[in-house]
Amino acid sequence: MSLADEARRNFHVTARVLPADLSDPTQVNRVERLIAEIADLEILINNAGFGVPGKFAEIPAERNAEMIQVHILATVRLCRAALPGMIARGRGSIINVSSIAAFMTSPGNTTYSATKAYLNVFSESLQDELKDTGIRVQALCPGLTRTEFHDRPGYEGYKTKIPEFFWMRAEDVVTESLDALKKGSAICIPGFRNRLLVAVIRNRVGARLIKALAARFGQRLEASSPTRR
Ligand SMILES: NC(=O)c1ccc[n+]([C@@H]2O[C@H](COP(=O)([O-])OP(=O)(O)OC[C@H]3O[C@@H](n4cnc5c(N)ncnc54)[C@H](OP(=O)(O)O)[C@@H]3O)[C@@H](O)[C@H]2O)c1
């Protein structure tokens, strides 16, 4: 709520708040209805997301289903709700927040990577489909970013043990995303280091190297964190 106050105060805009748990299809319905009603919707940002690190076969099945619901089904439904109005007006933008995890297999983060890969293909295809409509669609693929994402259970040690070099500020991610949106890039990987990482991952030898390093880092975290054992 305080964020809405800040937006009203600093940018003189109308800010409405609609709390909704996007893992609950009924609540997604309410958001869909609101989106469809906004007559001058300029931009839809599907940002909600979370990780549940751990072995796929050990994570409760409901948590994987919730992630698919939030990352994929809610995003698809909210895009579908926004588009008829945007198409009729011949303008509008959609940003689906994905991840560089979309470009890699991630043992210990299997459903996360898979849902983000879906968002990339979905957003790129949608952008192709909408190319002559004046609407822009982007899958934003950040790497490690300083937010509350890694404060959740299972990520102990990430914020303190991964060197500062690998992290971006959320503000810088946003700036690069909006710049890329103006240029019409359907996939935005913010930060030179993240773009380099994705280029290495796409090379077969590079992918093996990154996997080995990630596995080693995972073992070190596990050894130093009692809650991950
Ligand atoms: N931080 C990173 O390193 C990183 C890297 C790559 C991609 N991403 C992606 O960036 C996006 C934003 O994450 P963040 O880094 O800003 O993390 P964050 O600070 O934890 O924010 C995640 C947001 O998603 C919301 N959310 C989670 N589950 C939800 C649900 N069931 N219904 C409605 N809202 C829900 C959270 O709301 P509540 O606070 O109310 O739970 C929160 O506002 C996510 O899609 C994430 O996958 C993050």
Task: Flag whether 8 is in a domain.
Answer: no
Containing structural domain, residue 101: 22-228
Cross-strand pairs, 188: 140
| φ, ψ of residue 44 in degrees (nearest 5) | -115, 125
pLDDT digits (tens, 9 = 90+) for 92-118: 999 999 999 999 988 899 999 999 999
- pTM assigned to the model: 0.92
Task: Flag whether 35 is in a domain.
Answer: yes
Quick check: is 158 catalytic? no
Structure tokens at 190: 């913010």
Cα distance between residue 229 and residue 222, in whole Å: 6
pLDDT digits (tens, 9 = 90+) for 188-220: 999 999 999 999 988 888 778 887 887 777 766
Question: How does residue 229 score in pLDDT terms, banded at 50, 70 and 90?
Answer: very low
CA of 54 to the centre of ligand 1 (A): 18
Residue 122 half-sphere exposure toward CB, CA atoms < 13 A: 24
| pLDDT surpassing 60 at residue 225 | no
Under DSSP, is residue 97 helix (H, G, I), strand (E, B) or coil? strand
CATH number at residue 177: 3.40.50.720
Task: Flag whether 6 is in a domain.
Answer: no
| Domain count of the fold of the chain | 1
CA of 51 to the centre of ligand 1 (A): 9
Cα distance between residue 8 and residue 12, in whole Å: 5
